[in-house]
Amino acid sequence: MIGVVIMRTILLVVLVGIGLFVSVTAIDRTTRCKTCLYVIMGLKIARDSGYSKSQQKDYLCNILQNEWKDPEATRMCRKFSDEIIWSDKYDYILTRDRNEALESCQQESGDREYCYGFYFP
């Protein structure tokens, strides 16, 4: 009897742990995708502002930090901005339309396919 209760408790703990992991992973993927799209679409606008590339990144990520209040998204913003701004494909990425920007967030980042299910109408 006690063995059955212990087994059920262990099973419950394992299932709850798996559920939390899947939930956190899904939230993380959503945040990464939103951040990537924010960076690309923001850089499309900031590129014509006359600011240097570093100033564009700072401006964009400071707005995100103040609006979203998510330190992880801010860290990702700085990382994605660096990846795009200092890339050979900077102009190519920023001249594409929104759906192509979404593809960039999926493909240009290697194996980090975290924008599945996102699309622009």
Q: How confident is the model at residue 121 (pLDDT cuts 50, 70, 90)?
A: very low
Asked if residue 91 is part of any domain, the answer here is yes
Judge whether 43 and 94 are in contact, CB under 8 Å. yes
Judge whether residue 2 has pLDDT over 60: yes
| Calpha distance 42→59 (Å, rounded) | 10
Asked if residue 38 is part of any domain, the answer here is yes
Asked if residue 60 is part of any domain, the answer here is yes
The boundaries of the domain holding residue 94 are: 28-107
E strand residue ranges, 8-109: none
| Chain centroid, CA 69 distance in Å | 15
| Calpha distance 51→62 (Å, rounded) | 14
Judge whether 63 and 87 are in contact, CB under 8 Å. no
What's the total number of domains in the chain? 1
Model pTM above 0.85: no
